[in-house]
Amino acid sequence: MHFKDFDLLPQSLRALKRQGITNPTPIQEETIPLLLQSKDVIGQASTGSGKTLAFALPMVEFVDPDNKAPQALVLTPTRELANQIVDVISELVREDKLRVMAVFGGRSINPQIAALKRGTHIIVATPGRLVDLINRKAIRLDSFNYVVIDEADEMLDQGFARDVERILQSLKGDHVTALFSATMPEWVHQASKKYLYQPVNVKVETTPEEEPQIEHTVLDFGRNDRLEVLRTLLDNSRDGSSIVFGRTKRGVRRLAQKLDKMGYAVSCLQGNMSQNARDRVMQDFRDGETSVLVATNVAARGLDVDHVELVVNYELPENSELLTHRVGRTGRMGREGFAYTLIGEEDSKKWNKLKRDFTHKVRTRRWSGR
């Protein structure tokens, strides 16, 4: 199948051609026709499967350039992912001159209010800042006709659920609603019943040929020093970049400082940083100015940096879904990737609980110092 087989706008097809994109991925092939028919959709596919284009291409069809009111909304959990989605959509709508706006905290709200007054067609938002704008009566939700909840398993979880529910309850009139995620627990389907009308469930199973080439090793290091294990893994990695995941904001800051003193080109990403600082960190990492990114789970979802060779779970995540997303930061664009999950004596109980729900292939080996 070719994108031209869909009933897409000519300018969308030209935008795809400029980027060298000709054939839809399986999740795009199955969901784009449904969304173009105004059907609500729950879409599940692995990381790197093209979910953003799957909802962005139909979105453009629902937006009237002559109407300056916001007409399409994407809710997403992190600022970095919001910026990434804005980049994808902006390329699609370049010829239409549609205005696409990222709405998230960490920056002054006043320029965002001013931009809304000037007119914005598509909004990509984190829930907290959008609720703030609603409370200030800076935005009305009665003109939206296309709504996407990206990373739906996280967005409908306890941390975001109240704000997401407030937003969805504020929507007026008919609108298409789509949920997309790499993991879709049953409770997400139950929660979605409140917001979607007779949704079509699309689950794209990854074939062995399409599986990311990721070698995931659970490394039992016993009583050895965790930091020394990490150093050995970083020193033995090849030419690509590395992401090291920690559990807490303070912990990743301290770890990044230690690695910096050891001579690594390292940066740190965590939620308490200003938006300008987060943007600089991600740009330096994308450009290869830093080769090691130490991060909390803010970097676990959706971030697409194709030169990440190594992922190290320095500390365990809270659940198997987060582990899936963390590991999925490597092995992008058909490249080979390596992931290590470090298990010390104090981690055994938590790992035994976590691995029961982790369905991906892993191998376990005892740390030997190499």
The structural domains of the chain, ordered by start, are: 3-203 (3.40.50.300), 213-366 (3.40.50.300)
pLDDT of residue 27: 92
Can you give the pLDDT at residue 205? 77
Q: How far apart are CA 38 and CA 136, in angstroms?
A: 31
Strands 176-181 and 122-125: unpaired
Tokens of 215: 């070698």
* Single-letter residue type at 132: D
Q: What is the predicted pLDDT for the residue at 4? A: 85
Closest listed residue to residue 148, CA positions, set 75, 92, 46: 75
Identify which of 225, 216, 237 has the alpha carbon closest to the alpha carbon of residue 329. Answer: 216
pLDDT at 206: 64
Structure tokens that stand for 117 in this block: 């007054």
Which tokens in the block code for residue 313? 């779970």
Interatomic CA distance for residues 24 and 33, integer angstroms = 12
User: What's the CA gap between 40 and 76, in Å, rounded?
Assistant: 18
Q: Where are the beta strands (DSSP E) in 83-121?
A: 100-103
With vertex at residue 169, the alpha carbon angle to CA 59 and CA 60, rounded to the nearest 5 degrees, is 5
How many Cβ atoms are within 10 Å of 340's Cβ, its own excluded?
A: 23
Model pTM? 0.74
- Please report, to the nearest 10 degrees, the dihedral formed by the alpha carbons of residues 114, 57, 194, 300 taken in order: -80
* Contact between 327 and 360 (Cβ < 8 Å): yes
- pLDDT tens-digit profile, the chain (370 residues): 889 889 899 999 999 999 889 899 999 999 999 999 999 999 998 777 789 999 999 999 999 999 989 999 999 988 888 988 999 999 999 888 899 999 998 888 999 999 999 999 999 999 999 999 999 999 988 899 999 999 888 888 767 888 998 899 888 888 999 999 887 877 777 878 888 899 999 998 765 545 667 889 999 998 889 999 999 999 988 778 999 999 999 999 999 999 999 999 999 999 888 878 888 998 899 888 999 999 998 887 767 787 899 999 999 998 888 888 898 888 765 678 899 999 998 998 899 888 887 877 788 989 876 5
